Structures are given as C-alpha cells and as structure tokens.
Amino acid sequence: MTGPATAANARDEHPRVEVSGVAVSVDHYIGGRRVASAGTFEDRSPLDWGWKLADVSRGDAVDASAAVGAAVDAAPGWAALGPSGRGGLLRRLADLIDDAVPELAKVECADMAMLEESLRLRVLSRGARNFRAYADLAEAHEERVWTSGGTRNRVVRMPAGPTVVITPWNAPFMLSTWKTAPALAAGNPVVLKPAEWSPLSCSLLADLADAAGLPPGVLNVVQGIGEEVGAALVSDPRVRRVSFTGSPETGRVIASAAAANLVPFTGELGGKGPFIVFADADLDAAAAKAAAMYDDAGQVCLAGTRLLVEAPVRDELVSRFYAHVDRHVLGDSRDPATTVSPLIHPEHLARVAGFVDRARARGDRVLRGGRVWRDGGLWYEPTLVEPAGNDSEIVQREVFGPVLTLQTFAGEDEAVELANSTDYGLSALVWTRSEARAERVGRAVRAGTVWVNTFLVRDLTAPFGGIGISGIGREGGDYALDFCSDLKTLQILEGSTDREESDDG
Ligand code: NAD
C-alpha cells in the first residue's frame, strides 16, 4: 500500500538516512514528490555486511501504477518542449551531476563497493556526459528529407511515450543515466527502477533532476524488488518502451512482458568476452590489461574474461600477467590503495565460488586464487582457471566475478573459433601489432564491440549492444534516439500545397 506523500520537493523536510555523511532518501520519487511504501527492504554495505545502510521503500503494483501514471501525465508537456527546451534542462542536470560527484561516489561506494576513487575520477562523470551527449544529439538531429514518386518525404521522430528503465546493481548510477538520457532527450518521461542490491545513488539522481527543474513526472524513480514492482512496471500497458540492462535470464522475462503489450524492448545483457593475445602483441600491455579485468572484482559485463593466448607465448604472457596480478590490493573500496573490491552480496559471492568449486570438481585446473579471501568478508581472490575443455561451464557461462579462464590457440582461425564458441557476444579484446590481422579478426569475432589493443574507450555516438544472449537492439548515439522515438514518414504531394504556408522550414 502506498503511504502518504511527503511535502512536495521538500528536500529538507523529508526523512533521509545518512550514508557516509550524505543524506539519502529511501523513498520513491513519483510525480515530483517523495512517496513512501508501507513495506521496506534492507540494504547492506558489501564493505562490511554488518553495516546496514537503510530500509528502503519496497514498491508494489500501486506504486508502479502511480509512477507510470505520473509519466503519462508529464508526457505531452515534455514532448512540447522540443529538443532544445529539453536539452537545456538535461545540460543543467549534467552540471549538477558533475558538482555532486564526491557525494555520489561516497554513497555508491558504500552501497555497491565499487572503488571510490574510480567512481570519483572516472565513472560518475560519465553520467553527466550521457546527458550532455544525448541533449546534443537530439538537438543536432536533421530530419531526412527527399523527393520520390511525386511526393516530398520527411522522416519525423515523435517521442514514443512513457519509458520504463530497469538497471542492474553494478555501476548503478552510470548505467541508469546511460539509458535514461536518450529516453528523456527523445521526449519520453521515464520510470527508473534501480536494482535492489544498490538502490541509493539513483535516489540521489532524483534529487538532482528535481534541482535541475525537470517538470514533475518526467523522471520517476521507483525502488523495490524486480519480481514485484519491476514486473508491474514492465507489464503496464501504458508504457511505450522498455529499456533493460541486466542478466539474459531476466532479459527473457522482461522481453516477454513487453512483447505481450507489443512494446519495443532493448536489452543490454551479460557478457563472456574473449581476450585474444597473438604472439606479435605487446605482451606486457596485454598482460597488464588482462590483470585489470579483476578491477571492480570482475563485476563488469564488458570484461574480457576468457584469455585466449597464441600457444608459443602462453608461458611468457602468464608470467607477465602474474607480475601484474601480484600488484593488486584487496581491501576497503574507500581506500585509494585498494584495487580489488568485495563482491556485492553474500549470495553473489556464493555464486562466484560455486563456479570455481564446480570447475575444480570436474577437472579444470585452478592455476591461481580460487578461494574466498578472509572469512567474514565478501572478497574473492583474483582467480585463473585452465579448463579441461572448451565446454567447461566456467568457459561457457558468465561468472561476473574476479575469475578468468586461460586457453591457448594455434593461428587466427582457431582464435576466432574459440572466441565465437559461447552463446554471448557483448565485447571482445584483440591484442596484435598487425593492422591486417586486427581488421580480419576484429571483423570475424561475433561481438557488439571489439577493442584492439585497448579497452573501455567509448564514443557515445557509436552503437553499443550485444549479439546472441548478450542483448537485443543497439544503444548509443542516434541508435538509442531512434529506439526511443516513433518514426513517421510524412509525404506531401508535390505542388499540392502552397509552399509559403506549408513550409515550416
Ligand atoms: P538481474 O537481471 O538479476 O537484475 C537486473 C534488474 O532487473 C534489477 O533491477 C532487478 O530488480 C530487475 N528485475 C529482476 N526480475 C525482474 C522482473 N521479473 N521484472 C522486472 N524487473 C526485474 O541482473 P543483475 O544481477 O542486477 O546484474 C548483473 C547482470 O547484468 C550481469 O549479467 C551483467 O553482465 C549484466 N550487465 C550488462 C550490461 C551491459 O551493458 N550489457 C551492463 C551491466 C550489467
């Protein structure tokens, strides 16, 4: 049952919890107001599982309906602002995000244990970039205009309408802005449901949207459990787009709910990226980057977690890799010296450990790590497994932890065959000094993004997404704006209208 709404926009009057010195609302943000649910769910810090952060409002079907209703009400006004009216507000929001980075970093570090320094220096400012990039793109869009068959034709982008955004617990603020920004820039009000394991930084996003002057109902944030309020949101027939990031398993469920209403769905799903090292590569650079796959405890969908190394350089690559892994420091994510954080949740730690235990039991060789680090904490040692075969579960399924596998290949064909041998296809890394090979292998590998001799460099105008069970649809640039729009073809019979009156320029 939905409780009474608190005073509208009353940042100071509304009850908040303090997280690392930052006041955070634990309630929904619906129609420009903070709204509490009768029920709550518990949010704990992975830094210290005894540290309870908050009891967060546990949204239900009534809250979901209220949030979609607020988005429906806000839709005409938001659409009428046009790209530049919306762009001005979204750029103001971006500026406020930049100003709030230190507070956001403290809260997200406590909530999901991502390294505070990397949040502060790198990850959170991407949230601001997301809003600026889409404000710019929506404004710069030029309608396609041409003449054929005696008609003047024009492709018009119309806002699609209320959009539900569902996001995962890793990098929650950045990933939520990545999906929210194109929807808002395209003219769609959003209902965002962050993951229940790291809900707090998205509550701060609601405050920032409020402070930026986004009209009530344009951005709504609903907290709660996926199977409860999340399921209610994605099956509401008033919703016109569903944009999801998370696991392939949940993606299937949500895609089915959207399909029942014939609503377009986009899903950025899991990854099991190959990390291909050819003998001609800069082996030290490759080894250093491979060791960096343990950053954020490996909880990164884009990580290249299957090391595929050309056989003659296997030992050299591994010894250089170990030298880099030795420099990793497991510890408290608030400490700048720490490079490997704890995992998000005891259930996730058990899941990661289960993969390695089953691998060991079936005859895969654990070359390094393979244990929980320090009883009572949520750290798992950086782990390298040499599988008995390519069909091993640990090769074929996403672990989403600090676990890499090691396999060798002989020549390009086998490298590509191994790279393409899972059901996933989100990202891949290729290390070689040969331009021709980079082109050949880069084209042959089945993945939405292939990085050659680098990693995580992103141009926000480029398409981004997965193949196979790694995703449906493409985000990034105009691809996301098209997804968030209904495209209309407007055809006017040439010579049938008075140019002066009909030409809107
Ligand atoms: P998840 O699929 O368990 O949950 C994601 C979100 O879906 C959460 O907010 C959850 O509450 C919600 N949800 C669950 N069931 C639902 C339902 N029936 N209806 C509506 N919502 C529901 O994923 P996770 O464990 O939070 O995140 C990890 C996964 O996300 C990994 O597979 C990772 O690779 C993937 N991921 C992908 C990308 C990408 O860009 N491709 C980025 C980050 C994470």
> Any catalytic annotation for residue 268?
yes
Give domain status of residue 427, yes or no.
yes
Do residue 265 and residue 339 come from a single domain?
no
Catalytic residue among 108, 228, 268, 310: 268
341 lines ligand 1 (CB under 6 A): no
Give domain status of residue 326, yes or no.
yes
Do residue 112 and residue 154 come from a single domain?
yes
Task: Give Cβ neighbours of residue 465 (< 8 Å, ≥ 6 apart).
Answer: 266, 268, 426, 448, 471, 472, 473, 474, 475, 476, 479
Alpha carbon distance 42, 316 (integer Å): 47
Question: Residue 212's domain spans which residues?
Answer: 6-269+466-488
Angle between helices 82-112 and 200-212 (to 10 degrees): 150
> Any catalytic annotation for residue 301?
yes
Do residue 218 and residue 319 come from a single domain?
no
Give domain status of residue 458, yes or no.
no
Do residue 333 and residue 379 come from a single domain?
yes
Give domain status of residue 505, yes or no.
no
166 lines ligand 1 (CB under 6 A): yes
Residue 242 is part of a domain; what is its CATH number? 3.40.605.10
301 lines ligand 1 (CB under 6 A): yes
Among the candidates 405, 428, 452, a domain finishes at 452
| Cα 186 to chain centroid, rounded | 19
Alpha carbon distance 30, 501 (integer Å): 42
CA of 387 to the centre of ligand 1 (A): 27
Do residue 226 and residue 298 come from a single domain?
no
**pLDDT per position in the chain (505 positions), as tens?**
233 233 334 444 578 999 999 999 999 999 999 999 999 999 999 999 999 999 999 999 999 999 999 999 999 999 999 999 999 999 999 999 999 999 999 999 999 999 999 999 999 999 999 999 999 999 999 999 999 999 999 999 999 999 999 999 999 999 999 999 999 999 999 999 999 999 999 999 999 999 999 999 999 999 999 999 999 999 999 999 999 999 999 999 999 999 999 999 999 999 999 999 999 999 999 999 999 999 999 999 999 999 999 999 999 999 999 999 999 999 999 999 999 999 999 999 999 999 999 999 999 999 999 999 987 899 999 999 999 999 999 999 999 999 999 999 999 999 999 999 999 999 999 999 999 999 999 999 999 999 999 999 999 999 999 999 999 999 999 999 999 999 999 999 999 998 765 444 4
Total domain count, the chain = 2
196 lines ligand 1 (CB under 6 A): yes
Give domain status of residue 401, yes or no.
yes
Residue 390: burial class (beta carbons within 10 Å; 0-12, 13-18, 19+) = middle
Do residue 322 and residue 361 come from a single domain?
yes
Give domain status of residue 170, yes or no.
yes
Do residue 243 and residue 278 come from a single domain?
no
Do residue 113 and residue 151 come from a single domain?
yes
Do residue 277 and residue 256 come from a single domain?
no
270: left (phi over 0), alpha (psi -120 to 50) or beta: beta
252 φ, ψ (degrees, to nearest 5)? -60, -45
Residue 493: burial class (beta carbons within 10 Å; 0-12, 13-18, 19+) = exposed
Give domain status of residue 162, yes or no.
yes
Do residue 247 and residue 291 come from a single domain?
no
Tracing tokens 């030029």 back to the chain, one arrives at 142
Do residue 265 and residue 243 come from a single domain?
yes
Do residue 252 and residue 315 come from a single domain?
no
Residue 428 is part of a domain; what is its CATH number? 3.40.309.10
329 φ, ψ (degrees, to nearest 5)? -120, 115
- Contact yes or no for 172/114 (Cβ under 8 A): no
Catalytic residue among 228, 301, 381, 398: 301
Predicted structure pTM score: 0.95
CA torsion angle for 428, 431, 437, 440 (degrees, to 10)? 0
Task: Give Cβ neighbours of residue 462 (< 8 Å, ≥ 6 apart).
Answer: 476, 477
Give domain status of residue 477, yes or no.
yes
